Amino acid sequence: MLFQKKNAAPLKRAYPVPEHVAIIMDGNGRWAKKRGLPRTAGHSAGSETFRRIATYCRDIGMRYLTVYAFSTENWKRSEEEVAAIMSLLKKYLLEAIDEMEEDHIRLHFFGDLSAISPELRELTQRTDAISEKYDGFQVNVCLNYGGRDEICRAAREFARRCAAGECKPEELDENGFSELLYSAGIPDPDLIIRPSGEVRISNFLLWQSAYAEYYFTDVLWPDFTPQELEKAIEAFHRRDRRYGGVKR
């Protein structure tokens, strides 16, 4: 099953849960290499971590979790590795559909799904459609996602609407542009976590991250635990989010 059963009542929290957390699930390959295993074993372990962390996020009352599962650049990897990642995704979506009536989790996708296999695409559409009615915890899975690609598509769509006479260039503002992105209607992430020691954004949520707080850790994604997530949440609450203003 994609999401484990609800745990016992959540512990009293020292810090409130951010509304929207986004995670770059990185470090699967290095995790496997350290153990002398093929990279695909790392992806498999990473997907278990995803289940655990998503369950935990739901149980502590988070509203949105956005995870980077496959980027527009990840096609550069070997055919075998790409196939393994796609097959793990397929397995989870099948499980998610099975468990949906019980889990009540909204599963949504960000990315260009036209490039994935018709079978996987159909599963994403089905998962999205079935879970649309749930308005509690939402997981956004970024699949064949690239921040630049997302912005280009939005610009293209706006240009198309202008050319069709539906709107005028001067009418576009930041809110209107946001509504053309995959994340339309979803608040920007408060906190973006990147495990694995890399300190870069790798084309993730470029527009939406304008005022996100970042948290980097050396822990590899398959080793990432709810305790690590709590460390990130704690760090987030020590930040002073000024949004360009002055500290009061």
- Residues 18 to 37: which contact Mg ion by CB under 5 A? 26
Q: How far apart are CA 47 and CA 85, in angstroms?
A: 9
Q: Which candidate in 26, 59, 188, 190 is catalytic?
A: 26
How many residues of this chain bind ligand IPE (CB under 6 A)? Answer: 17
Q: How far apart are CA 213 and CA 215, in angstroms?
A: 7
Report the run of H or E that residue 138 belongs to, with start and end. strand 138-145
Sequence-ordered list of residues with C-beta below 8 angstroms from that of 120, at least 6 positions apart, any chain: 86, 89, 90, 93
6 contact, one of ligand IPE, Mg ion, none, CB 5-8 Å limit per kind: none
Residue nearest to ligand IPE (CB): 29
Give yes or no: 59 in active site. no
Evaluate whether 39 touches 137 at the Cβ level (below 8 Å): no
- Using DSSP's 3-state secondary structure scheme, residue 35 falls into coil
Q: Which candidate in 7, 59, 74, 218 is catalytic?
A: 74
Q: How far is the CB of 47 from ligand IPE (least distance, A)?
A: 10
- Residues 4 to 33: which contact ligand IPE by CB under 6 A? 24-30
DSSP-H helix ranges across the chain: 28-34, 39-59, 79-103, 118-131, 147-163, 174-178, 226-238
- Residues 178 to 217: which contact ligand IPE by CB under 6 A? 196, 198, 200, 202
Give yes or no: 74 in active site. yes
User: Counting contacts by CB under 5 A, is residue 81 touching Mg ion?
Assistant: no
Binding site residues, ligand IPE, CB under 6 A: 24-30, 68-71, 74, 85, 196, 198, 200, 202
Question: Which residues contact Mg ion by CB under 5 A?
Answer: 26
